[in-house]
Chains A and B, each alone.
Chain A
């Protein structure tokens, strides 16, 4: 079961990132139970799960495509949309909730016109809601492009967002 059959499918492209994913999958063994690990490997490299990647995993691990979709959509962590330039995770766990985390989300919505789970029209920023990332001593907090910022305020988050968006775009963000 752990050997890749000789007629194993080729990865969707010859992108170097696929080489690393293929290596990971080989180490795990080409078994249906490696599906979630495979998805992690793909999303780590590409930032999302594109349809071709899901088809590839289905064929390689011999899992029905419908099940692959079922698994990919069940878990909040997996996304089928390409990543935007910036991601702001706003924590709304218990502690962040009672420490006015929702006001941060409201401020972002006011400024950029996007709520949790949405992306700005120009595709520069997506806003994600989390329910506790286990750093409650920093509440209320956001995770902006991987950096945990907390305890913070709606104003600070707006300023940080403004400046990091302006930096990568070379132009000021659109007004809300």
Chain B
């Protein structure tokens, strides 16, 4: 497909859409699906059929609408193309039996019990770039994606820019890796591009193993073409012609949608051979993870694609130098790739104008835990934590008090109330003893015990340690054992210093990021919630979570 063909196809799709006066978009991402949105979709279709309204009202399955806590969600767009003002409505907890009421509401008066206020901060405060099409397009249909601008940036790059131009644009954007470490994306691309060895590979890390994280899942289930386009642009920039997406086996829906998207894009000449009727070729294959957290680590991931046990290896050499099958390999996270097409389309300077000094653009967060509005949000970097938790997130339910927000998964830490006004960017979170991580934010209230949380993460790291290096394999067992003593009320003062020493050892001596960051949940809770550890020394669990073997003081 040439750029002209793409443009005219996009125009066709858009005029087809505009022919409808009204539309319902029904969320069919995992969470809403399991709350019954498939039946709802069919019920609305049936209702429109029977009232002979199918010609003027479109029903379309879409990806994540964001506010997962209130699913199944439906977005309604009214009076389109009639010259009248277009109005959007968002409807929540809609069941199949509400279908008739929904269709009744097409005159603009939905059941107030179903309708969410339009100016909800959850939506108002967002700035959506990576997720701009999530919840707008049908993730099953290439045409729908094209109507929303998919593959425009890829063809623009192929026709109007050299690989070096694309690289420069990404560098100018200041984009940093969204998978955890925040490594400058442009720099990584340049390292691969500079390497003279061939072939080169582009790999997408869709392993999303951090518990409490579901951003990548949301993007993949809602807009798979966006990720493919980002990968293809990257391949053009670094000179690769083959790529892999390593996706965790649990994400069946995302996997199916990706497979379908790949074959659609290949069929349309937007992936595979002769992309956009140019000599550029890029083939993407999926590889399924198999339930090993450490495979999210880049060297372990590549080893796993090669068909081996997913054990990491020391870096350097970095994958950019020696990666998959020993060849230069660019590996980026799903969200990183999802940011690339808008950067190419709108320019690096535009992207760099959003965010803070060293953290550019936006970040997608998965809000969950003891928070009212669980779901996915995308906000500019530098948005204060308070705004995310209490503004967009709607605060803590059931009148409970906020205690901490956990970011960065097992490699991260817990941030207490005192720092709620901190801006969320890579540097600030690191200075607070946590990390940006991949974007999971688990909110905890007064009923959560921080020693128990640290113990939870250490159990996680203990079980997920691949066993290759001793500090991690043995250290995580020991650390977990020590925390067990705290939560049983058996720990003494010397255990506190032992805990700190051991954390230091595991942090500095482990081979890969898993071990190096495994002590973080302990270190951050010790730093911000030292009182709770000391209470446990006295046989008390202030949150009432740990069952103490002995009561009273030591």
Contacts from A to B (Cβ < 8 Å): 31-37, 39-40, 61, 63, 67, 70-71, 74-78, 93-95, 97-99, 130-139, 147-150
Check A36/B71 contact, CB under 8 A, given A98-B448, A134-B214, A136-B212. Answer: no
Contact of B310 with A75 in the complex, beta carbons under 8 Å: yes
Q: Roughly how many angstroms separate A63 CA and B306 CA in the complex, as a whole number? A: 12
Q: Which of B249, B289, B290, B406 contacts A94 (CB 8 A)?
A: B406
Check A76/B444 contact, CB under 8 A, given A40-B249, A137-B368. Answer: no
Contact of B310 with A74 in the complex, beta carbons under 8 Å: yes
Please report which residues of chain B, range 15-45, place their CB below 8 angstroms from some CB of chain A when the two chains form the complex: 30-31, 34-35
Quote the shortest CB–CB distance from A84 to chain B (angstroms).
Answer: 18
Please report which residues of chain B, range 232-263, place their CB below 8 angstroms from some CB of chain A when the two chains form the complex: 249-251
Check A71/B309 contact, CB under 8 A, given A37-B288, A78-B290, A94-B406. Answer: yes
Q: Which of A33, A70, A98, A133 contacts B250 (CB 8 A)?
A: A133
With a cutoff of 8 Å between Cβ atoms, the chain B residues found around residue A40 in the complex are: 249, 288, 290
Contact of B453 with A36 in the complex, beta carbons under 8 Å: no
Q: Which of A31, A77, A131, A132 contacts B249 (CB 8 A)?
A: A77
Check A77/B290 contact, CB under 8 A, given A132-B212, A137-B375. Answer: yes
Check A131/B442 contact, CB under 8 A, given A76-B292, A93-B212. Answer: no
Contact of A34 with B307 in the complex, beta carbons under 8 Å: yes
Quote the shortest CB–CB distance from A81 to chain B (angstroms).
Answer: 15
With a cutoff of 8 Å between Cβ atoms, the chain A residues found around residue B442 in the complex are: 94-95, 98, 136
Q: Roughly how many angstroms separate A113 CA and B447 CA in the complex, as a whole number? A: 29
A133, A135, A150 pick with most chain B CB within 10 angstroms: A135
Q: Roughly how many angstroms separate A139 CA and B212 CA in the complex, as a whole number? A: 10
Check A36/B212 contact, CB under 8 A, given A76-B292, A94-B456, A134-B217. Answer: no
| Contact string against A for B residues 434-460, beta-carbon threshold 8 Å, 1 for contact and 0 otherwise | 000000101010001000010011001
Does any Cβ of A come within 8 Å of B369's Cβ?
Answer: yes
Q: Roughly how many angstroms separate A17 CA and B456 CA in the complex, as a whole number? A: 41
Quote the shortest CB–CB distance from A73 to chain B (angstroms).
Answer: 9
With a cutoff of 8 Å between Cβ atoms, the chain A residues found around residue B290 in the complex are: 36, 39-40, 75-78
| Contact string against A for B residues 341-381, beta-carbon threshold 8 Å, 1 for contact and 0 otherwise | 00000000000000000000000001011100011000000
With a cutoff of 8 Å between Cβ atoms, the chain A residues found around residue B249 in the complex are: 40, 77
With a cutoff of 8 Å between Cβ atoms, the chain A residues found around residue B30 in the complex are: 134-135, 148
Interface size class of B (residues with CB under 8 A): 35 or more
Contacts from B to A (Cβ < 8 Å): 30-31, 34-35, 68-69, 71, 208, 210-214, 217, 249-251, 287-293, 304-310, 366, 368-370, 374-375, 406, 409, 440, 442, 444, 448, 453, 456-457, 460, 463, 466
Considering the complex, give the chain A residue whose CB is closest to the CB of B218.
A134
Quote the shortest CB–CB distance from B182 to chain A (angstroms).
Answer: 21
Contact of A94 with B369 in the complex, beta carbons under 8 Å: yes
A98-B442, A147-B34 known, 9 other contacts, Cβ within 8 Å? A35-B308, A36-B290, A77-B249, A94-B211, A94-B212, A134-B30, A136-B368, A137-B375, A138-B34
With a cutoff of 8 Å between Cβ atoms, the chain A residues found around residue B368 in the complex are: 95, 136-137, 139
With a cutoff of 8 Å between Cβ atoms, the chain A residues found around residue B71 in the complex are: 137
Q: Roughly how many angstroms separate A61 CA and B306 CA in the complex, as a whole number? A: 13
With a cutoff of 8 Å between Cβ atoms, the chain B residues found around residue A138 in the complex are: 31, 34-35, 68
Quote the shortest CB–CB distance from B186 to chain A (angstroms).
Answer: 29
Quote the shortest CB–CB distance from A91 to chain B (angstroms).
Answer: 9
With a cutoff of 8 Å between Cβ atoms, the chain A residues found around residue B217 in the complex are: 134
Q: Roughly how many angstroms separate A150 CA and B71 CA in the complex, as a whole number? A: 12
With a cutoff of 8 Å between Cβ atoms, the chain A residues found around residue B213 in the complex are: 132, 134
